[in-house]
Amino acid sequence: MSREPLLPALLFWAALALLPLAAPSWLTGQLAQHLCYGLLAMSLAYLWGQGGLLSFCQALFFGVGAYAYALVGLGKLPLLPASPLLGLGLALLLPTLLALALGLLLVTARVPTGPAWAVLTLVLGVIGERLAVASPFLGGSNGLAGLPPLALPLPGGAFELLDPVPTFLVLLGVTAAVQLGLALKIASPAGSLLRAVREDALRAAHLGIDPVAVRLRAFALAAALAGLGGGLFAAQFGFVAPPLLGLGLSTEALVWVAVGGRGSPLAALAGALLVKTVEGLLGEWLGAGWPLALGLLLLLVVLLFPQGVFGGLLARLARPVRP
């Protein structure tokens, strides 16, 4: 999809903003956490749907963002003061730099962007998780706990995000800004170039486009957004652990995106919220049997909605009316 329709997005955000009025505060808190997963899902939809780069290591950047927030928040990094906002800044920066380095490595090794690329990203994710488990500095398999919450610098003093409703509203603002920003990016000339490279890198090169540079930029942007999601997740959860970097979460993110629709970051975000909510409900109803039921549901969704549950709908809304 080259244009994200604006109206459904605005309606979606307006409806979510009103939710704390009706929902119990535990649900609002849970949704705030799911919005962090939503950022991860949007980053993957941009990379996979728009850029054609299937990544099995998107959680690596989410996790690096979470650990960056934790290390700064706990004052474990030399020269940096223990500041949650600075932590969030590093949660954006570190995954971006990591993505550029890994991307250059994959490009220099001339890894084609097909199955080989996907398998290598999978390996990178596993390595990241193992490194975190093996590192005493990162707290090993126990991770790091006792992280400070995010604090907004307001005129009357810092406002700590501890209660579910303000946390949810801040998360909503950040996620909505990212979604609308991505929609603009997708509709811009840079978005067209990324889709051109996805369609046919060689043909794009013959038009004067540097496919490697275009892909690297997309990889880095997606990593930055995943890292932001990870940083915000750590701020809310107060705890980080190696599974945040690992293959399990990366695969979950792929499922959210496939269910929602990879062609649109908004659809992917809605997919993440849907799957996480259904997961919770199935857990309540079915007890230990919920993964099996969820698996069957996912299978049905992928068979019935190849463009995703929300992706097909949005594509229909975005399609120009033919004369």
Partner 1 sequence: MPAPLLELRHLVKSFGGVLAVAGASLELGEGELLALIGPNGCGKTTLFNLVTGIERPEAGAIRFAGREIGGLPPQARARLGIGRTFQVPGVLAALSARENLEVAATAAGRPRREVEEALERAGLATFAERAAGELPHGLQQRLELAMVLLQRPRLLLLDEPTAGLELGESLAVAARLRTLVAREGVAALVVEHDLAFVRALGAEVAVMLRGRIAARGPYARVAADPEVRAAYLGSRG
Question: What is the pattern of x (binds partner 1, CB under 8 A) and - over residues 150-189?
Answer: ---------------------------------------x
Which of the residues 198 through 227 are near partner 1 (CB under 8 A)?
199-200, 202-211
Rule CB under 8 A: is residue 322 a binding residue for partner 1? yes
- Shortest Å, Cβ 44 to partner 1: 19
Q: CB-wise, 198 or 276, nearer to partner 1?
A: 198
DSSP 47-62: IIIIT----S-HHHHH
- List, in order, residues 6 or more apart from 171 with CB less than 8 Å away: 32, 35, 36, 232, 236
- Shortest Å, Cβ 125 to partner 1: 28
- List, in order, residues 6 or more apart from 145 with CB less than 8 Å away: 139, 238, 239
Q: CB-wise, 118 or 196, nearer to partner 1?
A: 196
Count other C-beta atoms under 10 Å from residue 267's C-beta. 29
Q: CB-wise, 32 or 193, nearer to partner 1?
A: 193
Q: CB-wise, 169 or 205, nearer to partner 1?
A: 205
Residue with structure tokens 């698996």? Answer: 295
Q: Which of 85, 86, 107, 196 binds partner 1 (CB under 8 A)?
A: 196
Q: Which of 74, 195, 279, 305 binds partner 1 (CB under 8 A)?
A: 195
Q: CB-wise, 163 or 200, nearer to partner 1?
A: 200
**CB of 46 closer than 8 Å to CB of 181:** no
Q: CB-wise, 196 or 293, nearer to partner 1?
A: 196
Q: What are phi and psi of 219, to 5 degrees?
A: -60, -45
Q: CB-wise, 170 or 314, nearer to partner 1?
A: 314
Coil vs helix vs strand at 286:
helix
Question: What is the pattern of x (binds partner 1, CB under 8 A) and - over residues 51-80?
Answer: ------------------------------
Q: Which helix (H) or strand (E) holds 22?
A: helix 6-22
Q: Which of 114, 141, 192, 316 binds partner 1 (CB under 8 A)?
A: 192
Q: Which residues of 76-105 are buried (b: 16+ CB within 10 A; e: fewer)?
A: eeeeeeebbbbbbbbbbebbbebbeebbee
- Shortest Å, Cβ 210 to partner 1: 5
Sign, Cα dihedral of 198, 200, 202, 204:
negative
Which of the residues 245 through 304 are near partner 1 (CB under 8 A)?
none
- Shortest Å, Cβ 99 to partner 1: 22
Q: Which helix (H) or strand (E) holds 14?
A: helix 6-22
Count other C-beta atoms under 10 Å from residue 302's C-beta. 14
Count of residues interacting with partner 1 (CB under 8 A): 20
List interacting residues with partner 1 (CB under 8 A): 2, 189, 192-193, 195-196, 199-200, 202-211, 320, 322
